[in-house]
Structure 1
Amino acid sequence: MPIVTVLQGPRTPELKRVLIQGITDVFVDNYGLPADSVQVWIQETPTDSWGVGGVPAADK
């Protein structure tokens, strides 16, 4: 059973739902796995807790 971990900033529940379904579909379509064997874990980090290019993501 694959476990996919997504590290990201905060997103709406609707966007997370779409992401989970899309990742699951990739494993179903490409590996022939049953959808209920695919786990997707989303770990959200507030934008003031990470940065890109030396700038906090909250400032972008």
Structure 2
Amino acid sequence: MEPSPGGRNGRRTQRSSVMPIVTVQQGPRDVTLKRDLVRRVTDAFVEAYGVPAETVQVWIHEVPADSWGAAGKLTADK
């Protein structure tokens, strides 16, 4: 990939046909919180990489509390 001048805030951007894809794994959250998360993650990629917001994909994978654990215990049992 060749860097090209002139990204957002004068940053150099990478020419690429590959879109950024971000996967977030979490427990279930309210749709309002997920909207805000997607907006903020997208904004971060636009700022950091100088890519158009339309190229950023954010995938939210929600895992129920009875399907994951930490410190040797099922999260649903805490």
Please tell me the TM-score bracket, short chain as reference: over 0.9
How far did 1:59 drift? 2.5
Q: TM-score, normalised by structure 2?
A: 0.73
Structure 2: which amino acid aligns with 1:14? T
Superposition deviation, residue 55 in structure 1: 1.2
Letter in 2 for 1:43: H
Q: 2:58 aligns with which of 40, 54, 59?
A: 40
Q: Given the alignment of the two structures, is residue 21 of structure 1 paired with residue 43 of structure 2, yes or no? A: no
Q: Which runs of 5+ in 1 are unaligned?
A: none
What TM-score, normalized by structure 1, do the two folds share? Answer: 0.93
Aligned residues: 60
Bigger Rg, structure 1 or 2: 2
The structure showing larger relative contact order (alpha-carbon pairs under 8 Å, at least 6 residues apart) is 1
Runs of 4 or more above 6 Å deviation: none
- Find the aligned partners of 2:51 and 2:77 in 1 and give their Cα distance: 41
Aligned to 1:43, what secondary structure does the other structure show?
strand
The CA distance in 1 between the partners of 2:75 and 2:32, in whole Å, is 22
C-alpha root-mean-square deviation of aligned residues, in Å?
Answer: 0.8
1:53 corresponds in structure 2 to: 71
**What percent of counterpart residues are identical?**
62
How far the C-alpha of 1:58 sits from its partner, in A, is: 1.5
